[in-house]
Amino acid sequence: MTHFPDIGVEIHGHVGLIEIRRPPLNFFDIALINQIADALEGFDRDIEIRASVLAAQGKAFCAGANFGDPARQAQEAKGDPADSLGPINHLYMQAVRIFRCKKPVVAAVHGAAIGGGLGLAVSADFRVTCPEARFSANFTKLGFHPGFGLTVTLPELVGKNNAELMFYTSRRVTGEEALKMGLANECVPQDQVRNAAMKLAAEIAECSPLGLLSTRATMRAGLADRVMAATEHELAEQTRLRATEDFKEGVKATEERRFANFKGR
C-alpha cells in the first residue's frame, strides 16, 4: 500500500478509509489534495473496495487554507497572501480528480469544514457530522471568490438560495443546521461521527459493486465536467480579486480575528 506523508490509508473489509493527518486544523494545499486524489484513484483500482470514508485527525475536518502560516506571511510581504497554497490552477486540477473518482465517498465531518475544506467535504457523496461541526464558505469575508467548484456543488446540495446565503454572509453553519438544509445526511454525537460514517460506507459496500459503479456514474454524470467549467470561472475571479487591497485586508483581518475594513478596491 502506498505511503503518503499527510494522510493515512486503511482498508476495512470492502471500505477504504482516508484520514487527513495535519492536526489540529488540517489546513489544505495542493500536496494534500493531490494525496487524497491519489488514494481515491487507488481505491478505484482495487476491486475489493466498494466505498470509502474521508476523515481527519485533530480539532477540524479541514479548516481551509492556512493564511496565518510563515510561508503565507512571507508571500504577503511580496504582495500575494494566496501564494502559500501553491499554484491555484494546479490545486483545482487535483480537486477535479477527486470528482472523477468512481466509488461512493462518505465524509466524516467531526469539526470545522471551512472554505476549501467545505469544498472537500462537499466533494463526497454523503456527510456525517455532529452539532459541534461548523461549515463555512468564508470566501467573501476574505475579499475572495468561492473556489473548489463550490459554485456548482453547494447549490446542488442545499439549493440556490441557501448557497447564496452561505456565500454572501460567510456565516458558519452548525452540524444541526447542515442536516436541516441538506448539507449533511446524519448528525450524531461528536465521538460517534467516524463510526457512523464507517457504518454508512459498510452499508453501501453490502451492495453489488457493479451496480454501485453503474448507478453512481448515472447519478453523478457530468459532475466533474461541470466542476471543471466552474473552476475555470472561479479561478479567473480569484486571480482578479487576489490582486485587490480588499483581499489583503480580508486575510489580515481573519488572521487577527477582527472585522475587516473593506474599501472596495
User: What residue ranges do the domains of the chain occupy?
Assistant: 7-188+208-255
Specify the pTM: 0.91
Contacts of 135 (CB under 8 A, 6+ apart): 109, 112, 113, 114, 118, 121, 129, 166, 172, 173, 175, 178, 183, 184
Give the residue ranges of the chain where pLDDT is below 70: 1, 67-90
Q: Which CATH class is domain 7-188+208-255?
A: alpha beta
**What are the tens digits of pLDDT across the range 76-132?**
445 555 454 445 566 877 889 999 999 999 999 999 999 999 999 999 999 999 999
Contacts of 126 (CB under 8 A, 6+ apart): 104, 105, 106, 107, 185, 186, 200
